[in-house]
Structure 1
Amino acid sequence: MQPPLLVLLLAFFLLPGAELEGNIKQTDAVKPLPLPRSRKRLRPGQKCTVAGWGKVSTWGPYSDTLREVQLTLRKDKDCEYRFRRSYNSTIQLCVGDPTENKASFQGDSGGPLLCKNEIQGIVSYGNKYGEPPRVFTKVASYLPWIKKTMKSLQLQNPDHLLWS
């Protein structure tokens, strides 16, 4: 069975003057992604799912099919050590177990990280070989801004981040 199509339009908010060519139609495969209900801390060891069309190997092509993988949340110190100058635990999540051969990779950036059916992260960066752990933007850190922006754009449901 094909996983549900995930389309994340957060970048739409970041591009001044960006417009969609038409309305987005909700279907069984395209529906709102629930935002986190609070800034409640996620637990290391918790399993989450990421989806995307990124590469599945370092030198391979980008996927022509949407793929999803279950990844493990890590302690912040794992990414603080690995990405000394760039990791910020206030606005980022550390995701992926180095003992497992699973990770987001090139081409997955901007895709959603779902934990307990809420969008908790957005694929951001990692090392050039795709080895875990990798860094995701922490959606909960931006909730006030997301809700304010959605309200100012008069979007119907400010508790859901557009479409999955």
Structure 2
Amino acid sequence: MRLIVIMVTLMSLSACAEKPISLQLLPSGSHAMTNDTGEYTVLNYWAIWCAPCRREIPELNEFDHLSADVTVVGVNWDRDDADTTLEYMERMGIEFPVTDGDPLQQLAIIRPEILPTTFVFDANGRLVATLVGEQDGQSIRAAIESAEHSGT
């Protein structure tokens, strides 16, 4: 009887374990927020009307292309439909994937009030840095290195 109670308890605990978070992307596909490779996720909130957002896009494109240990993912702050978001991505020259919808509830983050805002998540899907304002590869890399050195 004791063995049955232990097995039922273990089964219920495993059922309660958090599911891995996967972001749906545009134009297609998904991105897992947790991984075994040590890859960080840089989640950047932007809007078409935001001048600093438009200025930082080339930096984010380059950082995404050059950083094997990081994936940059955008979020359309205005929550436009997929077709409009894809149009804005083209107009802004966004080369990294953008989420299909706003993942803030999925990620348990607060919607940014200032744009651009960039969230940095470690390979375990934990938020390790929030960067407000225009960013470049150097500032994002510094946030990642700070997180690695602090053990978060």
TM-score range, shorter chain: under 0.3
TM-score of the superposed pair, with normalisation by structure 1: 0.21
Return the TM-score normalized by structure 2. Answer: 0.22
